[in-house]
Amino acid sequence: MSELTALTLAEARDGLKKKSFSAAELTAAHLAAIEQARALNAYVLETPEQAADMAKASDARLAKGEGGPLEGLPIAIKDMFCTQDVRSTACSHILGEFTPPYESTVSGNLWRDGAVMLGKTNCDEFAMGSSNETSYFGPVISPWRRRGSNTPLTPGGSSGGAATAVAANLCLAATGTDTGGSIRQPAAFTGTVGIKPTYGRCSRWGIIAFASSLDQAGPFARTVRDAAILLRSMAGPDAKDTTCVDMPVPDYEVAVGKSVKGLRIGIPKEYRVDGMPAEIDELWQKGQEWLKAAGAELVEVSLPHTKLALPAYYIVAPAEASSNLARYDGVRYGLRVEGRDITGMYEATRAAGFGKEVRRRVMIGTYVLSAGYYDAYYLRAQKVRTLIKRDFEQAFASGIHAMLTPATPSAAFGLGEKGGDPVEMYLNDVFTVTVNMAGLPGISVPAGLDAQGLPLGLQLIGRPFDEETLFSLGEVIEQAAGRFTPDRWW
Amino acid sequence: MSVDAATVRRIAHLARIAVADDEVEHLQGELNAILAWVEQLQAVDVTGVEPMTSVTPMKMKMRQDEVNDGGKPADIVKNAPLSDDNFFLVPKVVE
């Protein structure tokens, strides 16, 4: 029944409605595919029994002609989401076997709409990374390989497990989180669609916190339409998150296929960075031609503070992380390593529980918030953030509907290739991080393959709460570029 | 700005992360590389710029100040490494 796993979310939804197959069959096909793909390390926890139970309940509802918009559709959940009675660790040793007695709002919204949970996907520890190599459970192996090579590649990060599970047909769609590019970069590396919605569109309640003013949940899918379907269920008001907006959620699927004629698309000139590979530039040109052919108007725009976004991010995000991660003290949950006194216990627990990248960021964050340095670093970074946001506001105020940029500065790299210099790894997020700093929506859509046969993505950046325009434009790119599927080797 | 070995130890203590003596030098190098890279922000003119404190302009939601959850101590301590009679256990802090 391998063909069931190759369906899009929309096709599977329609097939269930027509009773071409049951939710139980659809789920069983995915569980079998997951079992055969353990070499990819995409899932850190499989939940086959729960999946079978949920599928059975979905079949009962479907038989009565009932069921929600995602009824019976098997979905994977990033391990950053707390799932009731199912181990949730953010792929960190410090959370140990933490099993929440509550459900995150976003995952709860999916179950409310009938989705079936297949398991929890691998990610960088606390979502801090761009290659999935900081996970306590080990790296995810991308389903993609360079032509004629067996070198294991990264699927990107931090949502590498989610991207891999979607690209390798180990789920119909998946949830991710994006703090600096953690949805859009892995989507670009794996030939999948990933959208980070506007800050406040999805509730952050029950998502293990990294940097609260930047974190946002979003979907991974194999098509723009599927991403639209999943986001509609994930998003929505939540009284438990005061930063989650009280705005109704539009039917995003309606925007897929809508004409983009007359839309003004900004091409930010600062994204033409030094040393950008010719392939990336060509892809960007191609994207512009596709949008133009569909009736959109291209306008060069300037976002002068672009190059400051990444360094400002590496002050703001670690600062917020150092505060959020203070809760891991060996008392209430997770790992505990005894010390000579209570401080010794805290220090030993956190030394043993945090990986190197997390420790580095917590220490940077602690430093930039410490007395005497707060103004020079943190306050200044928050002011720079205002300037970055203002750049976008001015461009949008001049009549721009969305912007088109590359999603990443390169295709996927090999595991271990960027181990030495943390800053080199951080540069992966150069095109995506501005969007988090400004709180805007951004979507990555597969747009082509590089000379070695690896996927490349284009990013569309939208006005606040205008995800619909991104879905319309994304569909134009998908129709022009086609879809990209890895050859199965696992 | 750069940090010396003593500052690395101080930051580690503030962050409550034990750092072994043989890790200090390496950490110092890494932290200084990151600090040197973010140094470019010092060149930006931020005169008169307000720091960004809210991502989306919105009014803080208000609710009645009343208990709307609770009464489940067993759930609360369920994941604790050490607990007794619905209390978290910590090393002795008062002599």
Query: What is the residue extent of each domain of chain A?
Result: 2-259
Mean pLDDT across the stretch B6-15? Answer: 97
pLDDT over 50 at A1, yes or no = no
- Pull the structure tokens for residue A184: 């859009």
pLDDT over 90 at A481, yes or no = yes
pLDDT 10s digits, A186-243:
999 999 999 999 999 999 999 999 999 999 999 999 999 999 999 999 999 999 999 9
- The CA distance from A176 to A129, in Å, is 14
- Pull the structure tokens for residue A243: 């930063």
Q: Are A164 and A131 in contact (CB under 8 A)?
A: no
pLDDT over 90 at B63, yes or no = no
Task: Look up residue B42 and give its DSSP letter.
Answer: G
Amino acid identity of residue A335, one-letter, is: L
Closest of A256, A70, A283, A40 to residue A166, by C-alpha: A40
Average pLDDT, chain A: 97
Q: Is the CB of B37 inside 8 Å of chain A's CB atoms?
A: yes
ipTM comes to 0.96
- Chain A residues in contact with B22 by the CB 8 A cut-off are none
- Select from B4, B26, B41, B93 the residue whose CB has the most chain A CBs within 10 Å, as the one to mutate to test that interface: B41
Q: Which of residues 290-309 of A touch B (CB under 8 A)?
A: 305, 308
- The CA distance from A167 to A173, in Å, is 9
Identify the CATH number of the domain defined by range A2-259.
3.90.1300.10
In whole angstroms, how far apart are CA A83 and each of A47, A184, A365? 11, 23, 28
- Whether B33 sits inside 8 A of A315 (CB atoms) is no
pLDDT over 90 at A425, yes or no = no
Q: Which residues of A203-258 form beta strands (DSSP E)?
A: 216-221
The sign one gets for the Cα dihedral A61, A64, A67, A70 is positive
Of B18, B72, B78, the CB nearest to A348: B18
Active-site positions of A read: 78, 158, 182
Global pTM reads 0.97
Q: Which of residues 246-275 of A touch B (CB under 8 A)?
A: 246
Mean pLDDT across the stretch A379-400? Answer: 97
Task: Look up residue A428 and give its DSSP letter.
Answer: G
**DSSP annotation string for A244-260:** S---PPP-GGGGTT---
